[in-house]
Amino acid sequence: MRKIIVLMSFITLLLTSCSSDDALIVEAPITPSNNIKPIQFKHYDYNSPISYVIGDFNYSGDKLDKVIYNNDKEDRYTYNNDLITRIDYYQSGILKKYRTFFYNTENKLSEYKVYNVSGGTSNLSLSESFTHNIDGTITSISINNIETEYYKYYLNSNGNVFKLETYGDSSYSTIQYTELMTYDNKYTPFKNILGFNKIVMMFVESGGIENNLLSHDLSHTIYELDYNNENYPVKITEKNTTSNTYSDVFEYYY
């Protein structure tokens, strides 16, 4: 089963579709209200709100420079022009992991790699390469230390992945399972951060790049959101529909 990919260590929540799935899509307003970006977030367990992680966003214009956490962690971002090319993850000032991103001539994501760092040595732990198809879908091959997996991504008109199919081999003929996601018609906290819309596949199963995730069927999860007057979420609460229990809570400050 595909593991949830986390783009930033603070988001444990944290490309055109088939007409038969249109009922799952809720379109966003065409023009965002303004260039709002988060300056801080808070993450805690619903049942233990006194223990939490705080992250502060640092920007250079519209580019995310780094995120600094209250638990001695730090994420640092590298750009080439307007494209994110690397994210470094530090713990107590020591590089522990990094991700590299590669793009095709149309500035679409073609591959990303994840490296773990130990004793100054980098070891490749995951790579995923992407093919952007004429029909608007994206197929990929994901290789880690244990197995190779094959995926097909379906995007709605806002660029959110609303369906993800996992296949048994590179022929993409036999579907092992399908995941369905639904979204709201508001804005994600990360909408106005430069370069994030190019790495939308990193948000699969944990949120959208344009709109906010409302449900993910495979994990039996729904998301309850509170918004500010500009239609950006200020609080996101995860709920498991099987056990009818709440888990992670994310608060955003702009």
Q: The whole model's pTM is what?
A: 0.84
Has residue 37 been placed in a domain? yes
The number of folded domains in the chain is: 1
Has residue 5 been placed in a domain? no
Has residue 7 been placed in a domain? no
Has residue 140 been placed in a domain? yes
Looking at residue 128, its pLDDT comes to 97
Has residue 207 been placed in a domain? yes
Looking at residue 2, its pLDDT comes to 45
Looking at residue 14, its pLDDT comes to 43
Looking at residue 49, its pLDDT comes to 85
Looking at residue 200, its pLDDT comes to 80
Has residue 188 been placed in a domain? yes
Tokens of residue 62, six digits: 């519209």
Q: Report the CATH number at residue 138.
A: 2.40.128.720
- Supply φ then ψ for residue 202, to 5 degrees: -70, -15
Tell me 194's DSSP state. T
Looking at residue 100, its pLDDT comes to 98
DSSP letters for 89-105: EEETTEEEEEEEEEE-T
Tokens of residue 34, six digits: 């303004």
Q: What is the pLDDT along the chain (254 residues), one digit of tens a residue?
A: 443 333 333 343 342 233 333 334 444 444 555 689 999 999 999 988 888 999 999 999 999 999 999 999 999 999 999 999 999 999 999 999 999 999 999 999 999 999 999 999 999 999 999 999 999 999 999 999 899 999 999 999 999 999 999 999 999 999 999 999 999 999 999 999 999 999 887 767 667 788 999 999 999 999 999 999 999 999 999 999 999 999 999 999 99
Has residue 32 been placed in a domain? yes
CA atoms of 224 and 45, how far apart (whole Å): 14
Contacts of 112 (CB under 8 A, 6+ apart): 99, 100, 101, 102, 127, 128, 199, 202
Has residue 13 been placed in a domain? no
State which residues form the domain around 174. Answer: 19-253
